[in-house]
Amino acid sequence: MGAEVVAGIDCSTQQTKVVVVDAATGEVLATTRAPHEVHGRDGARETDPAVWHAALAGALAQTGMADEIAAIAVGGQQHGLVVTDRAGAPLRPAMLWNDVRSAPQARHLVEQHGGTTWWAQQVGVVPVPSVTVTKWRWLREHEPEVAARAERVQLPHDWLTGRLTGEATTDRGDASGTGWWSSIHERYHDGVLGASGIELDVAALPRVVGPREQAGETTADAARDFGLRAGVPVAAGTGDNMAAALGLGLGPGTPVLSLGTSGTAYARSTRPASDPSGTVAGFADATGRFLPLACTLNCTLAVDRMADWLGLDRDEVSERSHVVVLPFLDGERTPNLPEASGLVVGLRHDTSAGEILRAAYEGAVASLIEALDAIDRHSSGVDPDAPLVLIGGGAKGATWRDVVQRLSGRALRIPAEAEHVALGAAAQAAGVLSGEEPSVIARRWGHGAGHEIDPVTRGDDTLERIVATRTAASFLLRGPGG
């Protein structure tokens, strides 16, 4: 009999990826992907969950190994709101994490409970439009008939796991991004669920599965739909950031920047984070510890759009720039400016297109560097001597690496393997087979290793110029609803 193989799933905003891994060695045997459709304008971002179902079926079929998989787990985009009937059939398209229509509801929820300090100390997360609880309140206000019919309220990872098992489960990592599960108290928060405008019965929410527990086994329907064998163990799964941290085999305090459509900064912590400013979300992780994290809406996609407007390739940048670009093309989460738009300051007759493009990179990265500093203050700390681990699509770009290196002043580590979300889920799957701690498995597999780039002097002058511009332009950045 051959080696056991496991599968990890990454259901992201734009696509579903599947990796098939040798459970003993961590060797990646297959990597496949299938795209998603995202719809919406004027702040709306939605996907029909049926798209995720079809994408997972397609990606599993492409591996050619679906019937060999011995265990499986799902890593999914955080915060999305999926409302279904009792059988798990969606009642409407899922509202995605980057849907910012619930900005007014976020403000009302903060005011309703007496400010940001209550949320930070009671829940660990201060509501911003990405957080699930704000989307649920938006749904109750704008589509009350749908909310009244909802018998299950889930996240994308929860829903896909349920397609595999027929059960309603989640994990503490992904649940900690909802705004109604508290990483401080390790439970659903009655005060949030019972609040005016929320009024959500805990029976509609999924059971929280522990880091080393099974969510269930693949059903006969899942075997038919996905080409898997019935009865295959399904691990807890988790949110995409938690899965990536697990796949990297991170120890506490090692900082990470993920450069994708959005940007994220995080580090594993031995204690929960509580940041009243709302910059740092006090998430739980997939190991029983914590993952304080800050997220920006505008990263690689925004910079690529600037390059398109300027008629440049993405690496056609000047060596230096005195321009400031605040690339908040989709509103922004960090800083919390959901109705902001992009801003360019400091143009002169002799300003080159390359200077503007470099400034767009700097504007995107500056928010993430500020976020890392905040994570250091509000957690068990960021190791000052650890290299900054750079992942995501942007980590492959020469200009992204250069700008992160200059603005952070840290050594960089670029892991050789790219699919860390799916690999983290695969480590969870391997753990339910062997009974071993998934983080131990991930470290043994070694997918967080890579080459390192030496540090340079931190670019505090550039950071200060960006922050000063953002402060001076605060009225403009608040947008029409500010």
DSSP 314-348: TT---S----EEE--BTBBTTTTBTT---EEE---
pLDDT(210) > 60: yes
Amino acid symbol at 79: H
Q: Which CATH number fits the domain that encloses residue 458?
A: 3.30.420.40
Least confident of 139-143, 350-354, 377-381: 377-381
239 and 347 part of one domain: no
Q: Which residues contact 446 (CB under 8 A, 6 or more apart)?
A: 26, 249
Residue 255 lies in a domain: no
Residue 254 lies in a domain: no
User: pLDDT by residue (tens digit) across 330-362?
Assistant: 888 788 888 899 999 999 999 999 999 999 999
**Residue 482: pLDDT band with limits 50, 70, 90:** low
**Residue 478: pLDDT band with limits 50, 70, 90:** confident
Residue 348 lies in a domain: yes
Structural domain that includes position 29? 5-249
**Residue 234: pLDDT band with limits 50, 70, 90:** very high
Q: Which residue has the tokens 């938690």?
A: 242
275 and 330 part of one domain: yes
pLDDT at 331: 86
User: pLDDT by residue (tens digit) across 65-112?
Assistant: 999 999 999 999 999 999 999 999 999 999 999 898 999 999 999 999
333 and 222 part of one domain: no
Burial group, residue 5, by CB count within 10 angstroms (0-12, 13-18, 19+): buried
Across the range 436-453, mean pLDDT stands at 95
Residue 283 lies in a domain: yes
Domain boundary among 249, 276, 310: 249
Across the range 151-167, mean pLDDT stands at 98
Domain boundary among 215, 249, 283: 249
Residue 445 lies in a domain: no
Percent above pLDDT 90 for the chain? 90
Q: How many CA atoms lie within 13 A of 262 on its CB side?
A: 24
Domain boundary among 221, 249, 277: 249
Amino acid symbol at 302: A
33 and 97 part of one domain: yes
- Number of domains, the chain: 2
Residue 438 lies in a domain: no
Residue 257 lies in a domain: no
Catalytic residue among 99, 158, 240, 275: 240
231 and 98 part of one domain: yes
Across the range 113-123, mean pLDDT stands at 93
168 and 268 part of one domain: no
224 and 322 part of one domain: no
Q: To which H or E segment does residue 312 belong?
A: none
89 and 236 part of one domain: yes
| Phi, psi (rounded to 5 degrees) for 305 | -65, -40
Across the range 313-329, mean pLDDT stands at 96
- The more confident residue out of 129 and 481 is 129
User: pLDDT by residue (tens digit) across 211-230?
Assistant: 999 999 999 999 999 999 99
CB of 293 within 8 A of CB of 252? no
Residue 428 lies in a domain: no
Across the range 118-133, mean pLDDT stands at 95
pLDDT at 2: 61
238 and 282 part of one domain: no
User: pLDDT by residue (tens digit) across 255-312?
Assistant: 999 999 889 999 999 999 999 988 999 999 999 999 999 989 899 999 999 999 999 9
Q: Which residues contact 247 (CB under 8 A, 6 or more apart)?
A: 8, 419, 420, 421, 422, 423, 424, 425, 426, 427, 442, 447, 448
239 and 287 part of one domain: no
349 and 298 part of one domain: yes
Burial group, residue 95, by CB count within 10 angstroms (0-12, 13-18, 19+): buried
240 and 268 part of one domain: no
d(CA 154, CA 91): 12
CB of 324 within 8 A of CB of 360? no
Q: Is 240 a catalytic residue?
A: yes
Across the range 165-180, mean pLDDT stands at 98
**Residue 481: pLDDT band with limits 50, 70, 90:** low
Nearest CA-CA partner of 56 in 38, 39, 79, 73: 73
